[in-house]
A and B are shown apart, each in its own frame.
Chain A
Amino acid sequence: MAGLNLIYKGAEAELYRGKWLGFDVVFKRRVAKAYRNPDLDRYIRVTRTSLEAKLLSDARRLGVPTPIVYMVDSVRTEIAMSYIDGQPLKKLVPAMDHDAVIQAFIAVGEAVGMLHAGGMVHGDLTTSNIIVKDGAIFLIDMGLGEYTPSVEARGVDLHLMRRALESSHFDSSVSAYAGFTKGYSDVMGAEARLVLNRVGDIRRRGRYVDGGRCMLE
């Protein structure tokens, strides 16, 4: 396609920047994976594309900051969405001081809380999937998300966030997660306690975690 610039090649999709009816957009195209069984590959790309488009726009309606979805093409497994001229949170965290980390993650926790309260989960919360523009955060990459009010799915969201913090931002992971849970609890109210308790359960279910059970023993 002419006039499109490849701006990012991720694990699952390629991002092109271009114009769509005059809007400055990103085309997110889920590309076929040669290593996958073709039936499985098609199924994964089609379902994730339509699910992501629905989740992004439903989340936005609830006030969760996400890109605006303009167009979905389930044959080409492509979404056109508004371009957010910001930086991934992953790149900004290392330069932040303690207070800045807390403030940023309070905002992330609030956004995730709004999403959960609206009956959705993100499914892949990492600092690469949060864009910061002029101090405001946006959630992107919702293809692994789900429509569910279940405590388990919400707990998995928080567990993934915590794991991502521990593997990519070990030095600030404790304050980041503390800020996150504060923002999350402010929005979720009494329900937050249930989810936070479940995060502990999910962690202990993992392999070789103290206080958990070992699958082979």
Chain B
Amino acid sequence: MGSVRYVLGIESTAHTFGCGVVSSEGEVLSNVKSEYVPKAGGIHPREASQFIAANAPDTVKSSLANANITIKELDAVAFSMGPGLGPCLRTGATVARMLSLLAGRPLVPVNHCIAHIEIGRLVCREQDPLVVYVSGGNTIVSAFSMGRYRIFGETLDLALGNCLDTFARCLGLSHPGVPKLELLAEGGRSFIPLPYVVKGQDVSYSGLLTMATRQVGTSDKGDLSLSLLEVAYGMLAEVTERAIAHTEKPSLLLTGGVARSRRLQHMLESVAAEHSARLHVVPPELAGDNGAMIAWAGYLGLINGQEIPVERSYVKPRWRLDEVEVPWRG
């Protein structure tokens, strides 16, 4: 028909349930999310999934209303099939399967990490960036090569956001912890040596978190926050610089929930400038987990025949970015 097509995307890998609608023109028609915030401690998978089940119907309804579209007008329903927390993925997948059956339209599985990259490429208008994807669940430096997004560096254990959030909770800071840590760090005066662990192109944050939390109560909060952030971001900036020197990509794309960090943005800007590359920071509403990114990656999957029958749409909690074929890039 050659007319505009519409895809709805469901995101539910962790604490965010998102529902978005995009058009085949790359226009985001709606992007609604509801976020589970634990009363204490980190994300409890079961409670997060119950939150998703309770909030999904209203979120989907407002997303369709904002896009001014009915279920019947959709061309496909996409969902994040992984990686993420099993209970959350399964709940979101259930919603997506139901919508797909209601609409009588194909169900398209989307890798969550690919969705972060593709929405970033779309809004930043970059063909072939080196991607730095940092969130509560992922820390990945990736670039496209030979049919897939290859991983040039990643965390060997904790994700950056996970490390910072856990430390923020140790200091008694409420969610979201990173902006509060950065504020505290501005008051920091002296640098406290903490484990700086770069192994080849990879980073490790677990020892850093342990050493930092051990000093809570004995060291100044400002000094400790400053040192933790400088070391954690410094490690990431170093592996990013190594990857950009190695891949010689023309631009750097910063995405994921931690992309909001001002300090990290400044560091990567300096890294990019050093290697004559442009830095793009994906805007917060599309950098954090959201449904629109799933819808857009779903559209790319749809036109490349990546739909899946409902009975085979099992979620994949451990679906690595570099396992996925990316046929829409040459």
Contact = CB atoms under 8 A, between A and B. Distances in A.
Contacts of A39: 191
Given A12-B238, A37-B234, 19 more contacts: A11-B238, A34-B270, A36-B237, A37-B191, A40-B196, A40-B234, A124-B200, A126-B200, A126-B201, A156-B199, A160-B201, A171-B146, A206-B154, A212-B318, A214-B318, A215-B158, A216-B85, A217-B85, A217-B86
Interface residues of A, number: 40
A205 B157 contact: yes
B34 to A, nearest CB: 19
Given A35-B266, A167-B145, A215 B199 contact: no
B154 A164 contact: no
B159 A215 contact: yes
Interface in A36-64: 36-37, 39-40, 43-44
A39 B189 CA distance: 12
B156 A163 contact: no
A128 interface: yes
A10 interface: yes
Interface residues of B, number: 52
A163 B318 contact: no
B319 interface: yes
A163 B200 contact: yes
B301 interface: no
Interface string B10-24: 000010000000000
Contacts of A167: 145, 150-152, 322
Contact of A35 (B84, B193, B267): B267
A160 B14 contact: no
A125 interface: yes
B142 to A, nearest CB: 9
Nearest to B241: A11
Contacts of A128: 246
Contacts, number: 116
Interface in B68-86: 82-86
A166 B82 CA distance: 22
A174 B156 CA distance: 22
Interface string A195-217: 00000001001111110101111
B245 A11 contact: yes
A129 to B, nearest CB: 9
A209 B200 contact: no
A144 B230 contact: no
A170 interface: yes
B283 to A, nearest CB: 22
Interface in B44-89: 45, 82-86
Contact of B45 (A36, A44, A217): A217
A163 B138 contact: no
A123 B202 CA distance: 11
A94 to B, nearest CB: 11
Contact of B200 (A36, A125, A207): A125
A170 B137 CA distance: 26
Contact of A216 (B45, B246, B270): B45
B100 interface: no
Contacts of B137: 207, 216
Nearest to A169: B146
A163 B155 CA distance: 13
Contact of B199 (A43, A144, A170): A144
Contact of A11 (B193, B227, B244, B268): B244
A127 to B, nearest CB: 10
Interface string A77-120: 00000000000000000000000000000000000000000000
B121 interface: no
